[in-house]
Structure formats: C-alpha cells, structure tokens
Amino acid sequence: PRTAGFNTVDFTKFSDSGLFLQILLMLVGAAPGSTGGGMKITTMSVLLLTSIAIFRNSLRTEAFGRTIPGDVIRNATTIAFMYLVLCILSGMFISLYEKVPLLSACFETASAIATVGLTLGITPSLRPVSHLLLIALMYIGRVGGLCLIYAVFPNANPDRGRLVEENVNVG
C-alpha cells in the first residue's frame, strides 16, 4: 500500500483475507533511511533469507556473496516479533475496549505502527484511550522499536563473559 493515507479503493469492501494481506503489507514496506515507519523491508529480507538458509540446512545466512552476521539476524527477529506483538495486542485491546471486530482493530493498529495512514473508518468513533494508544503506536513505529528499547534500557546487561551453550529443541 502507498504510505501517504491516499487510497482509491474502499477497504471496508475487502474480504477478511484481503484485509489480513493488507495488514501484512502495511507492517512491512518502508526502506531504511526513509520517513516511513514500521518494519523495514531489509528486516523482512533478513528473516526470509534466514528461513531459506534453515530450509537448506545451512549454518550461515548469505546474500549477494556476503554473510549476514548473527547480531543482525537477532535484531531482525526481535523487531519483527515486537511489531507483530504490538499490532496484535493493541488490536485485541481496541477490539475488546471498543467492541469492534478484531481484524478491523488490527488494521488500524498496523496502519498506525507503520505510519501508513489508511483506515477502515472506525478511528473517529474510538474513545480517547484508543486514540492515545494509536498515537503511541505511531511514535513507536516512526522512531523504531529497537531505538526505544535501547533508550529505555541502555546497556542493561553488559557482557560479563560467555555462558555455556545449551541446545534447545524447537519445532
């Protein structure tokens, strides 16, 4: 979706699966260094490349003849998880508090956190608490989640040596 709040289609006419796809497209879309908010396309690219590397049973994530460092992969995973959790939890809160459908509430929160500017038309009817939540999501999305985390918790856990590694079964 175009991230300027301009749209030529009526999103209220979309099916649930169409709205869900639009939510995913809103969450991912801005380029690094742009004024767009939300998750950057490079973050999603790193996650996609890491998934491909795992499917190929490779120990390294590679792209364009280069290896992507583990710290970058860890940051990308954290960012994606944070945006998804913020979008879903905020959507759940608005859905319960305002008595609106969950998908509609998640559409509004995804639009806010990614600073897209699209709406299904429910935002004007929301109560002030929900408006404040959407405003907070806009700031978080624009400033960047990791920037806020690093600002609130500066070097909270300095490196004090290495702990013993443990293999954890995930599936």
pLDDT of residue 127: 97
For the beta carbon of residue 142, count every other beta carbon within 10 angstroms: 16
* DSSP 3-state of 19: helix
Helix (H) or strand (E) holding 140: helix 128-143
pLDDT of residue 36: 81
Per-residue pLDDT of the chain (171 residues; tens, 9 = 90+): 555 667 788 888 999 999 999 999 999 878 888 888 888 999 999 999 999 999 999 999 999 999 999 999 999 999 999 999 999 999 999 999 999 999 999 999 999 999 988 899 999 999 999 999 999 999 998 888 778 777 877 775 666 677 788 888 777
Helix (H) or strand (E) holding 143: helix 128-143
Q: Which amino acid is at 63?
A: A
Q: What DSSP designation does 15 have?
A: -
Whole-angstrom Cα distance, residue 40 to residue 46?
10
Q: Where are the alpha helices (DSSP H) in 60-161?
A: 70-98, 102-113, 128-143, 145-152
Whole-angstrom Cα distance, residue 39 to residue 157?
25
Model confidence, pTM: 0.84
pLDDT of residue 22: 93
Dihedral angle at the C-alpha atoms of 58, 63, 65, 68, nearest 10 degrees?
A: -70
Whole-angstrom Cα distance, residue 67 to residue 83?
25
* Beta carbons of 52 and 129 less than 8 angstroms apart: no
Extract long-range pairs of 146-149: CB within 8 Å, 24+ residues apart: 146/75, 146/78, 146/79, 146/82, 149/82
